[in-house]
Structure 1
Amino acid sequence: MLDKILAVWGTPRTRSTTFLWMMKQRGDFHTFHEPFGKSFYLSEDRKSNRAADQAPQAEFNYQAVLDMLESHIGQDGRSVFIKDLTYHLEGVYDEAFLSHFHNVFLIRDPAKTLPSLYSLLPDFTSEEVGYHTQYQMYELLRAANPNSPPVIIDADELATHTEAVVRSFCEQVGIPFIAESLQWETIPTETKLTWWIGGDSHHDNLKQSTGFQTKRFKDYLHVSEVPKLAKAYEEYLPYYEKLYANRLIVR
């Protein structure tokens, strides 16, 4: 059992909920979907006005959420896993905060994430993309422990070489590899996978899946077709490329 929260930090649309679903299949983790998203949008500490029509809730404050997560460590003999988005920690994370976690980063080419995000949230802000925060978090942790930098997983390599990537991830974080966790039954459409204020439809692909290698059911715009996406792609690609150069490589 892990003594800290195992956290996978992604940007939007990086297959991170699929990763969480895989971890849920294992049975040895309490799993939580973007708990700090509630802090970012719905708490007294919130950093966004997107849900300004909703009264702030103290139970979602960053420290309250962290305390809640840590209270689950060891319950029923299980560890704790979260998947969350890096931008939810903007203005909050520092070395002390991140020391509560075994930190792993999930990355994906912004040419694929940005159009998908745009289809979900066309008015997304620069803060809600998260690439710069992801890179800064990684660099902070690497500088603090240069001999053991955080694990970086590329989402597309995870989909194409699932067993090898997951097996290596498990070795790196010190948990057993469980082959059965890589496949599952399709998820009933009424299953609620997220608390997200905009609803759950962006997880339809996952609900139709039985593993990481899903068939894409929606055609997205190319980043060059929308000026907002083209500008974001140019800005965030360098962060992705720097992280990609340090990704977990499997043979």
Structure 2
Amino acid sequence: MRIAMWSGPRNLSTAMMYSFGNRADFAIWDEPFYAPYLAATGLDHPMRDEILAAHEVNPAKVATRCIDSIPAQKAHFYMKHMPHHMIYGMPLDWANECVNVHLIRHPARVIASYGVKRQEMTFNDIGYAQQAALFDKIGGHVIDSADIRTNPEKMLRKLCEAIDLPFEPAMLKWKAGPRAEDGVWAAHWYNAVHQSTGFAGAEGPLPELEGEAAELCAQALPYYERLAARKL
């Protein structure tokens, strides 16, 4: 099985990758199209030069690897993808060979979390419109990070059942620290998950946003709500 897990940034996506990566039968891959996206757009993201130097920038080569032999001779392959990386010209046919899952999170939480790591933020950066468009194109399952944090075992069992994969208790806990499969950008983005050994508990009230952040949230909310209506 090849799982393409699609989400915007700050969506519990790295914890989900660690969860599947803690299974003995899964190989994992961290944002394969990030370097091609940066190379194609010229955007100035944190650690841009290091990312371009360390990762494959040719999108055709990345797409081939998505459906090529699974690393380490594992039975299954989990790929963490971001919809906003799939700009015009990025190949997507490979996704037809995958089980596509869309991981979502309320935009108020995403915007508050993203703003801590990167002050400049645009609607394109958080990926809501791109994710909704991608779902319309390729379909798949939808799961909400809030539900996972509230009851990880229940939701991971539900996801595994939906995609016809046996649940493994190993998905609930992992060792603290980085993983060899982390993208080089982990040094900037992954400090919290590197301190974790499992999914954090349920989140409190939504953060209160003001000004441009509140406007971004209002713009993203209809896309989130449309996908949330389809969640497991």
Q: TM-score, normalised by structure 1?
A: 0.80
Say whether the 8 Å CA contact 1:16–1:83 is kept in structure 2.
Answer: yes
**Cα separation, 2, equivalents of 1:214 and 1:207:** 16
In the TM superposition, what is the alpha-carbon distance from 1:78 to its structure 2 partner?
2.4
Say whether the 8 Å CA contact 2:142–2:230 is kept in structure 1.
Answer: yes
In the TM superposition, what is the alpha-carbon distance from 1:176 to its structure 2 partner?
1.4
Name the count of aligned residue pairs: 227
In the TM superposition, what is the alpha-carbon distance from 1:206 to its structure 2 partner?
1.0
**Cα separation, 1, equivalents of 2:22 and 2:149:** 17
Larger radius of gyration: 1
Tell me which amino acid in the other structure corresponds to 1:152: V
Say whether the 8 Å CA contact 2:28–2:181 is kept in structure 1.
Answer: no
**Cα separation, 2, equivalents of 1:194 and 1:108:** 22
SS in 2 for 1:71: coil
In the alignment, which residue of structure 2 is the partner of 1:222?
208
Say whether the 8 Å CA contact 1:8–1:106 is kept in structure 2.
Answer: yes
Say whether the 8 Å CA contact 1:193–1:200 is kept in structure 2.
Answer: no
**Cα separation, 2, equivalents of 1:7 and 1:183:** 21
Say if 2:228 is the partner of 1:239: no
For residues 53 and 85 of structure 1, do their structure 2 counterparts lie closer, same or farther at Cα, with a shift above 3 Å needed? closer
SS in 1 for 2:138: helix
Q: TM-score, normalised by structure 2?
A: 0.86
Provide the aligned C-alpha RMSD in A.
2.8
In the alignment, which residue of structure 2 is the partner of 1:193?
182
Tell me which amino acid in the other structure corresponds to 2:16: F
In the TM superposition, what is the alpha-carbon distance from 1:141 to its structure 2 partner?
2.4
**Cα separation, 2, equivalents of 1:207 and 1:95:** 31
Q: Which of 91, 105, 126 is the aligned partner of 1:129?
A: 126
**Cα separation, 2, equivalents of 1:37 and 1:172:** 28
In the alignment, which residue of structure 1 is the partner of 2:23?
26
Q: Which of 178, 199, 204 is the aligned partner of 1:212?
A: 199
Say whether the 8 Å CA contact 1:10–1:134 is kept in structure 2.
Answer: yes
Say whether the 8 Å CA contact 1:72–1:80 is kept in structure 2.
Answer: no
SS in 2 for 1:211: coil
For residues 95 and 191 of structure 1, do their structure 2 counterparts lie closer, same or farther at Cα, with a shift above 3 Å needed? closer
For residues 242 and 176 of structure 1, do their structure 2 counterparts lie closer, same or farther at Cα, with a shift above 3 Å needed? same
**Cα separation, 2, equivalents of 1:70 and 1:109:** 31
**Cα separation, 1, equivalents of 2:192 and 2:65:** 30
SS in 2 for 1:60: coil
For residues 128 and 180 of structure 1, do their structure 2 counterparts lie closer, same or farther at Cα, with a shift above 3 Å needed? same
**Cα separation, 2, equivalents of 1:11 and 1:48:** 19
**Cα separation, 2, equivalents of 1:59 and 1:17:** 20
For residues 175 and 124 of structure 1, do their structure 2 counterparts lie closer, same or farther at Cα, with a shift above 3 Å needed? same
Contiguous gaps of at least 5 residues in structure 1? 143-149
**Cα separation, 2, equivalents of 1:166 and 1:54:** 36
In the TM superposition, what is the alpha-carbon distance from 1:129 to its structure 2 partner?
1.2
For residues 99 and 53 of structure 1, do their structure 2 counterparts lie closer, same or farther at Cα, with a shift above 3 Å needed? closer
> Percent identity of the aligned residues?
25
In the alignment, which residue of structure 1 is the partner of 2:163?
173
**Cα separation, 1, equivalents of 2:180 and 2:99:** 29
**Cα separation, 2, equivalents of 1:84 and 1:21:** 14
**Cα separation, 2, equivalents of 1:193 and 1:94:** 23
**Cα separation, 2, equivalents of 1:180 and 1:100:** 26
For residues 208 and 53 of structure 1, do their structure 2 counterparts lie closer, same or farther at Cα, with a shift above 3 Å needed? closer
In the TM superposition, what is the alpha-carbon distance from 1:201 to its structure 2 partner?
3.7
Say if 2:151 is the partner of 1:164: no
Say whether the 8 Å CA contact 2:59–2:90 is kept in structure 1.
Answer: no
In the TM superposition, what is the alpha-carbon distance from 1:214 to its structure 2 partner?
5.2
Of the two structures, which has the highest relative contact order with CA contacts closer than 8 Å and spacing of 6 or more?
2
SS in 1 for 2:22: helix
